[in-house]
A and B are shown apart, each in its own frame.
Chain A
Amino acid sequence: NAGVTQTPKFRILKIGQSMTLQCTQDMNHNYMYWYRQDPGMGLKLIYYSVGAGITDKGEVPNGYNVSRSTTEDFPLRLELAAPSQTSVYFCASREGTDYNEQFFGPGTRLTVL
């Protein structure tokens, strides 16, 4: 099992550009999550999904969009990049049963200039 994979690892965007962060998991997990981590801060939940076709907002959804057309994939879309979106983005997944942990991808470091 590859677990949770994320692409790209690094990206530099100009203000106003758009991009999609890819996330794929091969563990057949129902729940998937996108977090961002700013320096010295914890992980802030952007969006989450409890299954294909079902998504919901987390703590900091503004400026982002997601879709979940398959169990495996959960892409995060930035439409108009802003410097405030400079961060490290982590995708995670877990089984849809109680009392279990999330598995995280290696992260995407995004810089918006």
Chain B
Amino acid sequence: AQSVTQLDSQVPVFEEAPVELRCNYSSSVSVYLFWYVQYPNQGLQLLLKYLSGSTLVKGINGFEAEFNKSQTSFHLRKPSVHISDTAEYFCAVSPPNQAGTALIFGKGTTLSVSS
């Protein structure tokens, strides 16, 4: 079985500062990895995903994440955040090649960007 741990429940940061949201996963098989963002009163939107290949994955809105197999981590980073990045961020995993398998989500990290 897979599980996801998001190490920080809340991350406050000032505008234009860099940010890292941490995610660790546990799995006995290879997995696909995802980061989703949820803005207030909205559903989840995919930021980026890791399937295979290059361990550095670039997503929308200037975010990127690095897959580290030895540390079973998939941390999300952005070099300079904006007020509009304030949202809830979810890390998720799924086993590959299993049709219709639901994602397993972490508890989420609230990113609060202030001026």
A and B: interacting chains? no
Residues of A within 8 A of B (CB): none
